[in-house]
Structure 1
Amino acid sequence: MATHVVTDRRAGRVGQSITSWRPRVRGLSAPAQRRRAVLVRAVLTAGLVGVLLMWWTSTGPSSAATPAALTTTIGELSGMLGGYLVCAQVLLIARIPWFEASVGMDKLVLWHRTLGTAVILLIATHVGFMIVGGMLFDQSTPWAEIVTILTSYPDMLTALIGTIVFFVVGLSSARLLRNRLSYEAWYWLHMTTYVAIFLTFFHQISAGVHFVSNPINRGVWILLYLGTAAAVLTWRVVLPVVVAWRQRLRVDRVVIENSGTTSVWFSGKRMDELGIRAGNFMLFRFLSWGHLLTAHPYSISRIPQAGVLRITVGALGDHSRRIRQLRPGTLVFAEGPFGHFTADRASRTRILLIAGGAGIGPICALAEELTARGYGVTLLYRAHSVEHLALLPELALMPGLRLIPVLGRRNELGYDPLSAQAVAALVPDVKDREVFICGPAGLALQMESVLRSLRVPMRFIHREELSLS
């Protein structure tokens, strides 16, 4: 495939139009986001309490009369809790706008991972305790009891297949295996979770003692799963397709910023309707060979203006490396925007931005908005050399921005150019600034530690993890 690359001739004129721009879309303030996040937790907890009440009210007085009955009851409870939490887990990443606006996609993904561990443990408990309970009732061996369960209860074979899929997906998300899988392989393996949910649902309704003889519980459970499916179809399939059709986003041009960084400019219709803010990211699926099967999260490095928007991507994997091969005119399916790494979180008027690698993309967009608001903005731009400074002409022309490149490798310099002493010398008033950090995980963690040592309160330090895996 031919590579289409152009030099960005507009870079020299970027700064001239910045002062005339003002943000038109505002997000929630930090206190409002915290209140909404608490409400999301309360809603999820209320659902969990509801499941416990459902189990309690439909459990007979003899449920703990014998070891066999108690073991079976624990198995039933763990199954119901696992069934509820898997729905909660799916809803967290169903792109529901209220959830995302309240919590932020990075935290939703973190909660999703945490619930995933809980779901796997509950499923294992459910399976183990139901087998042991049956063994105690029937005075049988484990293998004989497994055969009895599979042959005596409806929909158990499909439930077994679904359970195996759950465990395979859970193992693939473990850090040791996840690091060995490509994002594409992990993504499609993770998608089989929906198959597992479908396969395990029917045995809950047809064989679950708390549903078979209780039509109210059965109706509520069916509504829970139908509602979850409707949310996924609505916000992950139908609405994104409708939005994609309205925007008709296409690759406008591809710009090589340096050896490891590439910018992609997009053109389309009604981009202002997307509500993109500086610091947001979107999920991009390019309708091109090598990109079609997966959607990847990329931050916006320039919000829509004059019918175009831009992302700036670091070559961190196969997908991002193939970005340079995109042809102008390629159709793009974009979901979002997502994220809380926005200027609306700033409660101070003096700002410190810290960028490294591809993190310069969202930081550039933030610098544009914050300087346009009249804030005092300083940018520490960490790179190995001048050649690794992407978007430099644009940043140099940005009115009101104090740009400080921090260059060199630590092993070559013999010291850390972003140590606490170095940061204090470069930005003497750092403890009075709001800080936004975007870059490799190591840089972000290091800078959080440095800033804390310089007495910057944690509530004034913002960063966002751009990962769905």
Structure 2
Amino acid sequence: MRLAIAGSIIAVLMMWWFAVPTAFASTPANAFTSLGELSGMVGGLLVCAQLLLIARVPWFENAVGLDKLVSWHRSLGTSVIFLIVAHVVLLVIGGELVDKNPPWTEFLSELQNYPDMITALIGTIVFLAVGLSSAKLIRAKLSYEVWYWLHVTTYVAIFLTFFHQLSGGAHFVSDPLNRILWITLYLGTAAAVLTWRFILPTAAAWRGRMRVAAVIRESDGVHSVWMSGRHIDQLGVRAGNFLLFRFLARGHLGTAHPYSVSAVPKDGHLRITVGALGEHSRRLARLKRGTLVFAEGPFGHFTADKASRSKILLVAGGAGIGPIRALAEELVARGARPVVLCRVSSADQLALLDELKAMRTVTVIPLVGRRADLGYDPLSPAALSRTIPDLHDWEAFICDPEGMAEQVESSLCELRTPKRFIHREELSMS
């Protein structure tokens, strides 16, 4: 993937180099302007790369995994924002040096004198808003719904900024070949997104549509939603996978949320077990029987075939018990003897415990209580080593809230569990 992006950037550099004027660095003004144009071209390329990473192209996603693609998508986001800002700032500085205007006057002058600049400015503001919404501190304060719809506006931003590249970009106005290549890049990206992100998933979701069969309270703040459908067994869902569920009910229509399965499809039924962590998940408890459900997926590589050691530890925090329960069932079927740690603050938060205890060869260890009350952290290296000695010989699957998962991973690494034997569920699309 890195090679593909590096090769694409080299191709853009060549497009820029062969179309740049010979005097592109003869003065500071020309140098700033040329660098501004280059940063805009590379930024435009990386925007397309970002979209292709999450376009759900099947062969690409199966080979790499959605979790890694989403991670790469996030990583590119910082570079895109930097290049967009650099593009604007460098062009303004270049124009300022030529026209002897103050920066703000030069900025307004370029808005007025170049075609499609107003729409480009609106698109740039949208890009910056989307980029800021993904910053860790801001993302933590946004609901999934707000974050989701902000990111949907990225498509609008790309549309608004595209035309000024062709009408005002010196490397496209005067070079027909560059213009054709750039249009092809954007049309190809749009076709991939429309095909694999919208058209095919919509058709598949309609064929595999389900209905809510039952909603069951499992523990304090944790509910299971059972769904049924004629083609549910054909979805190819495995333990540890997640799907994007859209429930056709009030409060759920606006977004599709990722939820892991707690029971894989069997006899036309599938189950998810969800903790009330946000507005959307809290509303799941009020779903009515018969509610129509569309699902996209399955996604994720948090599956039993990752296991390569005989000693397997499954760590669940709160509602993370859902995918851990499904994994435990598959591992038992494979002949494994997993140990399950269930970390909760109080006993009334323990969910699916009876199901786990009923599985042969599964050892369940509840870790109940708040750290302040216990006087120690049950997930610290010292506590974990007392609970399970010789953890460096084990393989771990972790499904906890992010902070807790990072803590468990850190403790295991401190206890010399090789990092390649530590697997974490990654179902966040943000």
TM-score, structure 1 normalization: 0.88
Give the structure 1 partner of residue 119 of structure 2: 158
Residue 415 (structure 1) aligned with residue 379 (structure 2): no
Residue 288 (structure 1) aligned with residue 287 (structure 2): no
Q: Report the Cα offset of residue 211 of structure 1.
A: 1.2
Which amino acid in 2 is paired with 1:223? T
Secondary structure of the equivalent of 2:44? helix
2:340 pairs with 369, 374, 379, which one? 379
Aligned pairs for 1:256-267 (under 5 A) are 256-267=217-228
2:61 pairs with 90, 94, 100, which one? 100
1:174 & 1:431 partners in 2: Cα distance?
34
2:47 pairs with 86, 99, 102, which one? 86
Give the structure 1 partner of residue 314 of structure 2: 353
| Structure 1: unaligned runs, 5 residues or longer | 1-39
2:139 & 2:402 partners in 1: Cα distance?
17
2:410 & 2:103 partners in 1: Cα distance?
52
C-alpha change, 1:143 and 1:414, in structure 2 (3 Å) is closer
2:134 & 2:384 partners in 1: Cα distance?
37
2:210 pairs with 238, 245, 249, which one? 249
Give the structure 2 partner of residue 119 of structure 1: 80
Q: Report the Cα offset of residue 191 of structure 1.
A: 1.3
Alpha carbons 1:76, 1:130 under 8 Å: kept: yes
Q: Report the Cα offset of residue 297 of structure 1.
A: 1.0
Give the structure 2 partner of residue 438 of structure 1: 399
Secondary structure of the equivalent of 2:338? strand
Alpha carbons 1:278, 1:301 under 8 Å: kept: yes
Give the structure 2 partner of residue 53 of structure 1: 14
2:200 & 2:360 partners in 1: Cα distance?
38
1:249 & 1:462 partners in 2: Cα distance?
30
More displaced stretch, 259-268 vs 107-116 = 107-116
Q: Report the Cα offset of residue 80 of structure 1.
A: 0.3
Give the structure 1 partner of residue 157 of structure 2: 196
Q: Report the Cα offset of residue 234 of structure 1.
A: 1.3
Secondary structure of the equivalent of 1:290? coil
Aligned length: 430
Give the structure 2 partner of residue 342 of structure 1: 303
RMSD over equivalenced CA pairs, Å: 1.6
Alpha carbons 1:262, 1:324 under 8 Å: kept: yes
1:391 & 1:234 partners in 2: Cα distance?
39
Give the structure 1 partner of residue 283 of structure 2: 322
Which amino acid in 2 is paired with 1:450? S
2:26 pairs with 43, 65, 69, which one? 65
Aligned pairs for 1:9-24 (under 5 A) are none
1:302 & 1:328 partners in 2: Cα distance?
18
2:406 & 2:134 partners in 1: Cα distance?
23
Q: Report the Cα offset of residue 85 of structure 1.
A: 0.9
| Structure 2: unaligned runs, 5 residues or longer | none
More displaced stretch, 111-120 vs 65-74 = 111-120
Aligned pairs for 1:266-285 (under 5 A) are 266-285=227-246
Q: Report the Cα offset of residue 356 of structure 1.
A: 1.1
Which amino acid in 1 is paired with 2:360? P
Aligned pairs for 1:162-173 (under 5 A) are 162-173=123-134
Alpha carbons 1:100, 1:339 under 8 Å: kept: no
Q: Report the Cα offset of residue 296 of structure 1.
A: 1.0
Provide, for residues 311-363 of structure 1, a one-character-per-residue CA deviation record: whole Å limited to 9, x for no partner: 11011010000000111111112111111111121122321111111111111
Provide, for residues 343-386 of structure 1, a one-character-per-residue CA deviation record: whole Å limited to 9, x for no partner: 12112232111111111111111111111000121111112333
C-alpha change, 1:413 and 1:141, in structure 2 (3 Å) is closer
